[in-house]
Amino acid sequence: MTSRSTEAVAQAQSLGRRAPRTSPSPAPRKRPVKGARFAFWWMVLPFVAGITVFGLIAIVWSVYLSFFDARSTLTPTVFVGLANYVRLISDPSFLQSMATFAVFAILIVPTTLAFALALAMLVNNLPFAQAFFRSVFFLPTAFSYVIASVIWKLGLFSGQGSGVANSMLGLFGIDPISTWVTQSPLYWIVIVSMRLWLQVGFYMLLFLAGLQRIPAMLYEAAALDGLSRGPRRFWSITWPQLRPTVAAVILLLTIAAFQAFDEFYNLVPTIPAARPPLLYLYNVSFAQLDYGKGAAGALILTAIMVIVALLQNRFLGFNAADDAKPRRQRKKA
């Protein structure tokens, strides 16, 4: 950060919340431009049409289906009340899928968080070619999960001796492994490494933005006090300052893990212990053709995600680090 921008930051900090804000009162009313309303609707029309047809109608229909016996039909007539919900919650496969999600989340969330933060700090400290490395690490985000699955399954973790992982093991005199995608816990290595590669760049960008928001003067002040590098500087300054970013990243990673489907579907479709909730629901709806139970499941999953997001916001809070006061006190103030 240049000294000029440091000054600007310092100035902003000193002004803090006492600085006069831009007035929220509306600008003086002008006469609307003729045809503006028509133009407005014309421009939002595609969006509204899309969200109505593919969003609202689908959601309402799902709610409707979830209360009916909708096996092999989308226009059911037999009302069954909460039976679909009861059948779903008492289905051991559903509970197994939640357990699978828990295992996956425990593996992928901290791993991605650590790698993304480490990469962001490395890239942030680069003296040159920062944009280049940022792009390089971000590129996999644009990659297809399905194609990555094929590469991971047939190239990197192929069961044959020629696979990349097996060749590496061979260098250490270890026999090739043929059960990368059939044996627990081997398949977790395949699944987690693939998702890590695909998503780490995106979260690195979030952390980079977070790192660049940390005022340089904090580090300068710490340096004056004799703390210029090392883990203590990280834990005392960088980590607390990144708290909102960390909270956001954890939430986004958890939601993404909850929505995992592609790699499980393509890499380990036959393993019951590796069938996350969405894959379970997909099977219920499209293999068993039980749309009522599938719809009930979709709504339950949505409810779980909303609750998780609310709890996370309550306890970690996106803006918590902006304020030294605890959230509750701040509300009262």
Partner 1 sequence: MGKIWTRGRKVLVATAAVGALVALAGCSGSSGGTDSSGKANLTQFYHQYGEDGVKDAVTKWAADYKDANIDVQWVTGDYNKKVTALLLAGKGIDIFENNQIDVQSARQGKYADLTDIVKPIADKMSPISLKPVTIDGKYYGVPMITDPQLFLYRKSMFTAAGITTPPTTWDEFVADVKKLTTSEHKGLFFGNDGGAGLLGYNGAAAAGTGVLNDDNTKVTFNSPALASAVNDLKGLYSGGNLLTGAATDWWDPTSFIAGDAAITWQGLWAVPAIEKALGDDVGAFAFPAIGSSGTQEVGVSQWNMQVAASSSNVAAATAVVKAQWIDDTAWQQKFAVDFGFHIPPLTATADATTKLQTGLPKDIVGLTTKYGYSAGPFWTPAMGTALTDAVTNAVTNGADATSELSKASSTVQGLLDELNQK
- Residue 57: CB minimum distance to partner 1, A: 8
Q: What is the DSSP string of 139-177?
A: GGGGS-HHHHHHHIIIIIT-SSTTSHHHHHHHHTTPPPP
One residue of 286, 315, 326, 329 binding partner 1 per CB under 8 A: 286
Please say whether the beta carbons of 111 and 192 come within 8 A.
yes
Nearest-angstrom CA–CA distance, 140 and 145: 10
* Cβ-proximal residues to 159 (8 Å cutoff; 6+ apart), any chain: 166, 176, 177, 178, 179, 180, 181
Using the contact rule CB under 8 A, the part of the chain among 180-188, 197-205, 236-244, 297-305 near partner 1 is 180-188
Q: What is the DSSP string of 72-94?
A: S-SS---B-TTHHHHHHHT-HHH
Binding mask 19-38 toward partner 1 (x if CB under 8 A, else -) reads ------------------x-
One residue of 27, 270, 314, 332 binding partner 1 per CB under 8 A: 270
Question: By CB under 8 A, is residue 71 in contact with partner 1?
Answer: yes
Binding mask 111-150 toward partner 1 (x if CB under 8 A, else -) reads ----------------------------------------
In the DSSP assignment, the letter for residue 235 is I
Using the contact rule CB under 8 A, the part of the chain among 69-77, 203-211, 214-222, 312-320 near partner 1 is 69-77
In order of 7, 163, 223, 268, 315, the CA distances from 152 in angstroms are 49, 9, 45, 12, 37
Question: By CB under 8 A, is residue 52 in contact with partner 1?
Answer: yes
Question: By CB under 8 A, is residue 50 in contact with partner 1?
Answer: yes
Angle at 158 between CA 157 and CA 159, to 5 degrees: 115
Using the contact rule CB under 8 A, the part of the chain among 21-29, 67-75, 108-116, 218-226 near partner 1 is 67-75
Using the contact rule CB under 8 A, the part of the chain among 43-51, 114-122, 229-237, 240-248 near partner 1 is 43-51
Q: How far is CA 219 from the centre of its chain?
A: 30
One residue of 5, 288, 319, 329 binding partner 1 per CB under 8 A: 288
| Shorter beta-carbon distance to partner 1: residue 122 or 146 | 146
Chain residues in the site for partner 1 (CB under 8 A): 37, 41, 45, 48-50, 52-54, 57, 71-74, 92-93, 154, 158-160, 163, 177-184, 270-273, 283, 286-289
